Structure 1
């Protein structure tokens, strides 16, 4: 009897040392399993043990101090029932195994009609993974990865795989491999997300009819990469200070029939880069102070450039690999506003220049032949290079805008000042030195 009492006394001491682990942490799965369909589970200011599976339609609500921590061997939360809501908690410590076919995540969703909002996710391979999951809503989620130095060791912020009709809005993603990755994912909508410090802020692969509006991409290697994806709408987004070796604000690769409207491309190495793409409409965008405003490869046909403001780029536009004559620099009698780079006369005051603009340059050959030439676009030697080739008549038409727009009398100047201020603040907050940012113009206009 004395031994039994001694055992119970020692056991009670051990239990009291860490009551949270022995009650809340170990029993979260049991708590979920005990609920009825449609129940609401309110979590406390505690750290709960993850790798949990939600297999019934419930609502789980935490607090600012609620944490669900995985054991590093799987998904922290797996949602395998429809119509689940997760709100206001932190998720951390999924498996980081890159070789697993499971594609682990902080939250992995396999079903339809779920809501995840006001959640923070850290130390996970993927932040949120939608696997053949449709009509879900992911809003106000903050996902923080390990930073660009560890890109190969981590997954994406939000990964959408064979998943359609999802809404992704007001999310903040930093330091993951890609911010948002869509793979065979159609008719999804993404609004007002903020993505920074990734490889590609947005990455579409074989994904059609998606809408991407009012999102901000800053200080990524590439802002958005659209590959093998068609009938997308990218509108009112900001691509600011995306830099690195051959980086870009927006890449269109084998991408067709997309609408690129009213976006801002500011201080990127290349504003827009187009290769093997057909029938894309680039309209109403502000393309300013990039090293190359638009890089267009001759493998691309029937692009329409109209009503864009393309100004103060080192090179306004360059066509590489051919003449680019199958692309159009105006539509319905309206070309583009080239700013002060190409002064116009507009005697009849109809807003259209009285003469076409033809831009000639020899830099296309240097860019095509020398991969590292992007690193030297701000060099004064390029001006000398251009002048020498102008004498030798080794220049080619980069674009011909038959209906250039007269400089708009609007508040564009103030918009660019605001964007420049935002870029400066972001650089200071990141503690980085901005590299490869250039000003001025090269080339010859006739």
Structure 2
């Protein structure tokens, strides 16, 4: 009996000295409310009930099987104090009412300086929603949506609303409406995120001066849609196998002064689609094996295309709605490498073709007018159509590259094999035994 009393006395002393480092009580909200500012709360390998409101600075650390499960009516975790850290949790079951005045999320952040890392989110309307929240860090988060068949009833993986100077790294998002949606959100940075099976992998609306670098988009309807957003840097990203109705690797719509550099556009319906956009620089990109490499509407002016590898596309580039003569296909004497599509000579071995490349085509009218034209882009009938129109009608100039680049020997095959390898690995990892490609209309309304 004495030994038992001594044990209980020692245990109670230990618990009282460090209460914030002991396991949470059954009522997690009550435990959070009882903690002091800056406390560290360690959770067990079990499921805790949401919905939680965190209104003080603290660190919440889970284990491999720690789950915070909401009641299905609101946000599972609402962060309403700055400098909160969430780590090693699974968050599920937010409210799914798309008509609610508040857009619910697995984790909703209203404050600054928070960190969310190594967290998994499922069965939630939005995965993470930042609302007027700045200087937060979201990294190594896995967000699982309901898949493309259920896009309408759900929200976005990461939704950034009037939120600036946030950092997003190494996150994986699959099957949500849009992967990452930025709305009036400036000066955010996103690195090495992987987004698949969404409507738009990346969606910018009225968001300026963001950096999006070394991210991968695969099997989305649209890789990245940049709308009404200016002075962005999109660099070293991979846009691979993005197909579907009105699909593209990258869309620039009413987007100005953006830098699109050193990206890979491979096996998309349209590699880059540009409409009503001005002064964008497209430089050093690899645009290969797409239905259309570059689709450029004449409403877009002063684009600069330089140093790109544009090869093995069904149609290398097409200008629709006019001649597009105010766009530039070379810069400072450096044009683009068109691969085997346009053989050229380089007698003085300076890396620049001896003659300009001018591409003429009548396909622009077919693509602009016919809803089903994308169904036939790989058909042998397409070549016959082009040859007939070359004789019967006056073809229009799609582009003129005054300084085309001479192909570096052996480089194209290596690049092609590398891209094929990446695409094959991505498809295998996602367990796709059959890739169904759906072609859609090139609508002006995105």
Deviation of 1:437 (Å): 9.4
User: Which whole-Å deviations, capped at 9, do the CAs of 1:76-126 have from their partners, x for residues lacking one?
Assistant: 000000000000010000000000121000000000000000000000000
Once structures 1 and 2 are overlaid, which stretch shifts more, 388-397 or 115-124? 388-397
Matched, 1:248 2:248: yes
1:292/1:315 contact within 8 Å kept: yes
Matched, 1:258 2:258: yes
1:419 paired residue number = 419
1:207/1:230 contact within 8 Å kept: yes
2:108 paired residue number = 108
Partners of 1:108 and 1:173 in 2: how far apart? Answer: 17
1:82/1:114 contact within 8 Å kept: yes
Q: How many residues are matched?
A: 416
Deviation of 1:432 (Å): 5.0
Aligned residue runs from structure 1 range 67-146, under 5 A: 67-146=67-146
Q: CA RMSD in A?
A: 1.4
Aligned residue runs from structure 1 range 202-217, under 5 A: 202-217=202-217
1:188/1:211 contact within 8 Å kept: yes
Matched, 1:434 2:435: yes
User: Which whole-Å deviations, capped at 9, do the CAs of 1:138-165 have from their partners, x for residues lacking one?
Assistant: 0000000000000001000000000000
SS at match of 1:279: coil
Once structures 1 and 2 are overlaid, which stretch shifts more, 171-180 or 369-378? 369-378
Partners of 2:215 and 2:301 in 1: how far apart? Answer: 28
Deviation of 1:415 (Å): 3.1
1:20 paired residue number = none
Deviation of 1:423 (Å): 1.1
Matched, 1:175 2:175: yes
2:161 paired residue number = 161
Deviation of 1:361 (Å): 0.6
SS at match of 2:152: helix
Partners of 2:25 and 2:390 in 1: how far apart? Answer: 73
1:232 paired residue number = 232
SS at match of 1:155: coil
1:25/1:48 contact within 8 Å kept: no
**Cα distance change on mapping 1:255 and 1:432 into 2, 3 Å:** farther
User: Which whole-Å deviations, capped at 9, do the CAs of 1:266-305 have from their partners, x for residues lacking one?
Assistant: 0000000000000000000000000000000000000000
Deviation of 1:372 (Å): 1.9
Deviation of 1:427 (Å): 2.5
The TM-score normalised by the length of structure 1 is 0.91
Partners of 2:170 and 2:146 in 1: how far apart? Answer: 21
Matched, 1:35 2:35: yes
Deviation of 1:334 (Å): 0.2
SS at match of 2:353: coil
Q: Structure 2: give runs of 5+ residues left out of the alignment.
A: 1-22, 440-446
User: Which whole-Å deviations, capped at 9, do the CAs of 1:366-406 have from their partners, x for residues lacking one?
Assistant: 00001221122111111111010011133110000000000
Partners of 2:25 and 2:326 in 1: how far apart? Answer: 64
Aligned residue runs from structure 1 range 181-192, under 5 A: 181-192=181-192
The TM-score normalised by the length of structure 2 is 0.91
1:252/1:277 contact within 8 Å kept: yes
Partners of 1:202 and 1:281 in 2: how far apart? Answer: 19
Deviation of 1:177 (Å): 0.2
Partners of 2:253 and 2:433 in 1: how far apart? Answer: 30
Partners of 1:321 and 1:27 in 2: how far apart? Answer: 63
2:321 paired residue number = 321
